[in-house]
A and B are shown apart, each in its own frame.
Chain A
Amino acid sequence: MRFLPDAEQRAFTDSLHAMLTAADTPAVIREWSRGDHASGRALWRRVARAGVFGLAVPEEHGGLGRHPVELALAFVELGRHAVPGPLVETVAAAVLLADPPLAKRFLPGLLAGTDLATTAVVPNGHALDGDAAAVRLARIPGGLRLASAGPVRRSLDPARRLTPLAPDGELLDPGPPFGLALTWARLAVAAQALGVGFALLDRTVAYVCRRSQFGAPVGSFQAVKHRLADAATALEFARPLLFGAAVSLRPADVAAAKLTACEAAYTTARTALQLHGAIGYTAEYDLSLWLTKARALRTAWGTPEECREVFLEDALRTSAPSDSP
């Protein structure tokens, strides 16, 4: 029992954080939102070189072996810096393309960061950035097919460029591991949402310390303090669920973590907007890059209700009286 990141994991997180801090992500995000992918692709390659996508790929396919805890740690940082692009979708693709010939054909590009992947595998789920992704995977009743991307639709989060996928390409695999890919994707979204929440909290704390009204920083007022305390509490209690889920990788644990992290991030987003006041309600102010993402992630890869059902079904099954000793 030692439920903490070890020194190596901390060093990995710190180096990713430092790299992303230096990358000036707000400028990259705004370019990406306009469909100008150059700076985003450069950043993407650095994320790939840091080994992030390799954490979802076994060693025999060129990855680092499957390391869900490290992946979750990495995605917290990617969320904290609101890195744009189909990050979660690329992880899902890396898990889906498990069949050795497919792995050999597609994974080198994904691991190197030269190729982005996007996927449409959950009902009503959007594929992200089909215009930028080289590998587009769509789920059909008979398996997994290559797909072509339709026109980009605007998301509430401008950095999430939604593209419908038409499964008009080659049939890649009649039975890929959809369930496992969903689990990894949900774990990544949960982590990303938690990072988004922490960024919103930090920015808002800094703002309410700076902003004065009635002759005092607004952060000295109890009504403001209590909202921030509640946001911090929600995030801090989502964190252990995330890492508990990364340790077990049970779909029910991952669903509970996804639900809780996304709710905590969304609560924090509402608080962040309210406490910033009108300036927070502008697209120009960088806070908007995280605010809108918190809302979008809440339903990405499974709504709160779907995740709750996955959790509840498992909880009722494992605690059923007939199973008790």
Chain B
Amino acid sequence: MDLTHSEADEEFRAEARAWLRAHVPRTPLPSLETAEGFAAHRAWEAELAADRWSVVSWPQRYGGRDAGLLRWLVFEEEYWAAGAPGRVGQNGVSLLAPTLFDHGTQEQRARVLPPMATGEVVWAQAWSEPEAGSDLASLTSRAVRTDGGWLLNGQKTWSSRAAFADRAFGLFRSHPDAPKPHQGLTYLMFDLRAPGVTVRPIGRLDGRPAFAELFLDDVFVPDEDVIGEPGRGWRIAMSTAGNERGLTLRSPGRFLAAAARLAELWRERGCPEHARTRVADALIGARAYQLFTYAAASRFLEGERLGPESSMNKVFWSELDLALHETALDLLDGEGETAGSDWSEGYVFALAGPIYAGTNEIQRDIVAERLLGLPKGRR
């Protein structure tokens, strides 16, 4: 068992650290979930991309550095430790891009990935519907065949970033006669400003439009924007969900940095006794998540597929993140109630963690059934 990085990876770390030190904005950008903040975060993506730091794990021809998984983890450690801004392009980079690498065409990759890397095109996800949340496969938004493409009709909701984003990707029912609900779905990309699309921003708990409802009325999608074979969308979406949810949705670097900031806050406040245990547990939890990820990455690099342990991962980091922010607000005492601070915004964001990307209840079902082998039952 070896936890030391190669010399080359340490050089890469030093290079990333130096770049971040010179470029990370000295004052935090305005909230990502405002028009002004969204634009500022988009500009930050362009700055990252100009020196090929926005998508380090991608191939060079799409703007990346061909960094392997370990180097990506190293980059993330440095990125969050430097106090760099949240990533406005996260949905596209961690969900759509891996799907395109596995199932897209050469033409799609060449067209979609470079502007994603620079933040010129920011992507929103369009999975959930009013009647299809945890039971996503029961979705009813339709894609109907038309000349040269598909016509979308229906409603999507809880679409993160859609209030300000440019394009969206999601699943639509294209073959309503298929025998099972998760069959007959097609994975499509569409323009949020296309005729027939109405975006209605939804205020999250703090009122900021972090997500939106999408109303689709005969929205035309050309064939070139279908990913993989029509009718096979579920499998395509899920094939990357496991791997990505496990390793790239929320990197350990994020929580190591947040836990270190929490410890700093605790010290600034004179190390109050009431938070002692929780501060220690946050630091230990972040370290556990980092080491768990290095073990998973080691297995992945030896060719093992990562499966249901991704669900364990999601439960762990989302609960860690929430506990960590709750502790910070307690430490801030009366100030903790004040909206708009980094910690309070982080807290509101953390509250969503156990819900999005598959609720933690669904994740626990997956752990119980697929990892422990318990019998399926009613949800």
Q: SS class of chain A's interface: helix, strand, loop or mixed?
A: helix
**B376 contacts the other chain (Cβ, under 8 Å)?**
yes
Tell me the nearest residue of chain A to B277, going by C-beta: A308
Residue contact A260 to B70, C-beta cutoff 8 Å: no
- Chain B, 294-318, contact with A by CB distance < 8 Å: what is the 0/1 string? 1101110010000001001001100
Q: How far is the CB of A266 from chain B (nearest CB, A)?
A: 15
One of A205, A230, A259, A319 near B260 (C-beta < 8 A): A319
B283, B302, B368, B378: the one contacting A4 at CB < 8 Å is B302
Give the residue of A209, A221, A244, A312 whose beta carbon is less than 8 angstroms from that of B287: A244
Q: Are the C-beta atoms of A3 and B284 separated by less than 8 Å? A: no
Taking a contact as CB atoms closer than 8 A, the residue among A230, A238, A241, A259 that contacts B364 in the complex is A230
Chain A residues with CB under 8 A of B294 = 1, 3, 240
Across the interface, do B364 and A226 meet the contact criterion of CB distance under 8 Å? yes
Query: Which residues of B sit under 8 angstroms from A122, Cβ to Cβ?
Result: none
Q: Is the CB of B279 within 8 A of A225?
A: no
Which of A89-97, A175-183, A212-220 is found at the contact surface with chain B? A212-220
Is A2 in contact with B263, judged by CB distance below 8 angstroms?
no
* Neighbouring A residues of B309 by C-beta, 8 Å: 236
Q: How many residues of B contact A (CB 8 A)?
A: 51
A274 to chain B, nearest CB (A): 15
Residues from chain B with a CB closer than 8 A to the CB of A9 are: 1
Contacts of A239 in B (CB 8 A): 292, 295
Q: Are B372 and A228 in contact (CB under 8 A)?
A: yes
Asked if B276 CB lies within 8 Å of chain A CBs, one says: yes
> Do B298 and A3 have beta carbons less than 8 Å apart?
yes
Closest to A220 in B: B377
Determine whether A208 belongs to the interface, using a CB cutoff of 8 Å to chain B. yes
Contact for B374 among A5, A225, A312, CB less than 8 A:
A225
- Say how far A225's CB is from chain B's closest CB, in angstroms: 3
Distance, CA A226 to CA B277, complexed state (A): 25
- Shortest CB-to-CB span from A318 to chain B, Å, is 11
User: Contact check: which of B4, B267, B372 meets A229 at CB < 8 Å?
Assistant: B372
CB distance from B325 to the nearest CB of A (A): 19
For A3, list chain B residues within 8 Å (CB).
1-3, 291, 294-295, 297-298
CA distance A221 to B365 in the complex (A): 10
CB-defined contacts of B364 to chain A, threshold 8 Å: 225-226, 229-230
Q: Bound state CA distance, A233 and B369, in angstroms?
A: 14
- Say yes or no: A1-B4 contact (C-beta < 8 A), given A232-B367, A312-B276: yes
A246 within 8 A of B: yes
> Cβ of A44: which chain B residues have Cβ within 8 Å of it?
none
Q: A241 with B284: in contact, given A219-B374, A232-B372, A308-B277 (CB under 8 Å)?
A: yes
Once bound together, how far apart are the Cα atoms of A209 and B373, in whole Å? 9
Given contacts A4-B295, A236-B312, 15 further A-B contacts (CB under 8 A): A1-B294, A222-B361, A225-B365, A225-B377, A233-B312, A233-B367, A236-B309, A237-B289, A238-B288, A239-B292, A244-B3, A247-B1, A247-B2, A260-B288, A315-B280
Can you sample 16 A-B contacts with CB below 8 Å? Answer: A1-B9, A2-B2, A2-B298, A69-B1, A225-B365, A225-B369, A226-B361, A229-B368, A233-B316, A237-B288, A237-B292, A240-B291, A247-B1, A247-B2, A316-B267, A319-B263
